[in-house]
Amino acid sequence: MARLLIIVGCVFIAVGIAWLYAPWLLNWFGKLPGDIRIEVGRTRVFIPITSMIVISIVLTLLINLFRR
């Protein structure tokens, strides 16, 4: 459990650094086909379905690699 928390923390730090210094690396998030964006007047609804599926697959692969 402790190893998983350390890995999750390192991933959060890496994403934060990428977001701060290289925002173009994360430009794809929310712009994939299948992501839903609804804007009506002053109301905005954003549902990143495809982006979250991609992130889920990548995280699943990484976790499985570290567990072996």
CA–CA gap between residue 32 and residue 29 (Å, rounded): 7
Tokens representing residue 1 in the block = 């459990």
Which pLDDT value is given to residue 4?
A: 79
Supply the pLDDT for residue 22: 85
Task: State residue 27's pLDDT score.
Answer: 79
Judge whether 29 and 51 are in contact, CB under 8 Å: yes
Give the predicted TM-score (pTM) of the model: 0.63
What is the tens place of the pLDDT at every residue in 45-67?
999 999 899 989 988 998 898 78
* Average pLDDT for 3-21: 88
Q: Domain segments of the chain: what residues?
A: 2-67
- Mean pLDDT (whole number) for 33-47: 92
